[in-house]
Amino acid sequence: MIVQSFLGGRPGQRIQDYRNSMPRYVKVLAIGKSAESIISSFNRDRENILTTGPLDPDGRQPMDEPVNGIRPNAVIVVYQKGEEVRFPFQTERTASMLSFVVLEEPDGRAEREPNKTLQAIQKIADLFVTTSDQEFVNELIDNLAN
């Protein structure tokens, strides 16, 4: 016998004090100047969106390194296709969910040759998306941070 029940009056509500129902901390990283400006335009000064600010491009730290003592629950890396790749993070599997978004120009200009850093990030990412819709980054941040 199959029994169907509807719990609660309205679906989608958070369960108070349940850790998987709390807003998540999302760390957003940009590769290149265009990606930095895209991320800054989506940052609504929410407390659970973590950004590191300018970093030493020759330094290597984990992508999910804590920011101001807060460890992220998810990491989003954004790259605007065609930009110079300077990524001051280790390209190793993170303890948190890793999403990699490659933004293409609407005209779909071709990439010169595959970059080894970008390929390494793509291989370890839990979610890899190539899109020309910059608004997708905002939607992904909203979905992961809420």
Mean pLDDT of the chain: 78
Amino acid identity, residue 137? V
* pLDDT for 141 beyond 60: yes
The residue that leads in pLDDT, 17 or 105, is 105
Tens of pLDDT, residues 21-57: 677 888 888 887 888 887 777 666 677 888 766 666 6
User: What Cα–Cα distance (Å) separates residue 113 from each residue in 22, 75, 117?
Assistant: 42, 26, 12
What pLDDT score was predicted for residue 99? Answer: 93
Question: Which residues 6+ apart lie within 8 Å of 73 measured at CB?
Answer: 24, 25, 26, 96, 97, 144
* pLDDT for 5 beyond 50: no
* Six token digits for residue 34: 């265009």
pTM of model > 0.95: no
Structural domains in the chain, CATH included, are 25-145 (3.40.50)
What pLDDT score was predicted for residue 70? Answer: 87
* pLDDT for 110 beyond 70: no
